[in-house]
Structure 1
């Protein structure tokens, strides 16, 4: 008798969990509730467009953020967006000091990668510019060059020693060459 009552309990549970059948199909047919579900039914029910608009407006008003993304201007802290001067052409070249023992014998464990470079050479083309017009400021990760016609705010790919660089202007080429020693704190450990 217990099997009959457990069968009836299962039928009653199935009727509760499955949607109502309107066609008048057989009530004895047991359909698992998972048969009507698909991958789209996993998780919370999808929101309509109206719900999304209300929730984003609500989140903006009640957010604990100090500012929104629209209020923050893109660019670096050194950029002057009101300055109309164009950016000159430039090129960054990484340099390393190698000798015959490096080339032929490989004694110093140097390779052609940028990890083994000691200096960075920045070449900037400045047509119609005199050396007296140049204003150059070097930070650890930023090069700021200004002339009456051009401005260059360059984020450097590697940190440099800002006080140990060398700049030279070649008037016949109209080119400024800035050599900067790279600041690599682990060099004494890695390259010995």
Structure 2
């Protein structure tokens, strides 16, 4: 045992482990975190498995996946005005939710199932309105108005409902939201 605990054997072990290094800085004791810099954050260059970007046309500067949905409809030169709109969130609640508190619902928007978009369209006939709803984008056009709205949550575009209230000259669009964690809130 005295061979392992002697100072000479520890110095010989240290010298043997540091023989492959040519650094002059190794003579001073430095902590492991002091040797790290900004380049050490994230995966190393040799470990990155990034597939090469293959474009269909050599003149393309981005792929279709990089362009957000509905951006092809954004036209800054369109003279039509944007109508006033309001986004509201709706919950489906029963008396058990209100009086007994039996479900896990609360008044926050995280527990809402639907999104209600109220769009004011003064002096507009419903026959002149074009409405297209995609997963993350709502496109509304008429002779006077144009609205390209990026939605705050993905929605089910096939189950939405639209209702035009002629007295208020307002179009109400009700859309069912699709979020990743809905199975927790609505179990």
Q: TM-score range by the shorter chain?
A: 0.5 to 0.7
Bigger radius of gyration among the two: 1
Which of 98, 103, 114 in structure 2 is aligned with 1:103?
98
TM-score by length of 2: 0.61
Say whether 1:143 aligns with 2:134. Answer: no
Q: CA RMSD in A?
A: 1.7
Corresponding residue number in structure 2 for 1:178:
173
The structure with the largest strand share of the pair is 2
Deviations 1:66-97, CA, capped at 9 Å, x for gaps: 69xxxxxxx94430122110100000110001
Moved over 6 A (4+): none
SS in structure 2 of the partner of residue 165 of structure 1: strand
Instruction: Describe the SS at the equivalent of 1:164.
Output: strand
Q: Secondary structure of 2:74's partner?
A: coil
Find the aligned partners of 1:168 and 1:80 in 2 and give their Cα distance: 27
Measure the CA separation in 2 of the matches of 1:163 and 1:130.
Answer: 24
Residue matched to 1:169 = 164
TM (norm. structure 1) is 0.59
1: CA distance, partners of 2:184 / 2:130: 37
- Unmatched 5+ stretches in structure 2: 1-60, 63-69
1:114: Cα distance to partner? 0.7
CA-to-aligned-CA distance 1:90-124 (integer Å, 9 cap, x gap): 00110001111111111110001111000010000
Listed as ranges, the matches of 1:4-153 within 5 Å are 76-153=71-148
Q: CA deviation at 1:153?
A: 0.5
Judge conservation of contact 2:83–2:146 (CA < 8 Å) in 1: yes
Q: How many residues align?
A: 120
Distance 1:191 1:174 in 2: 34
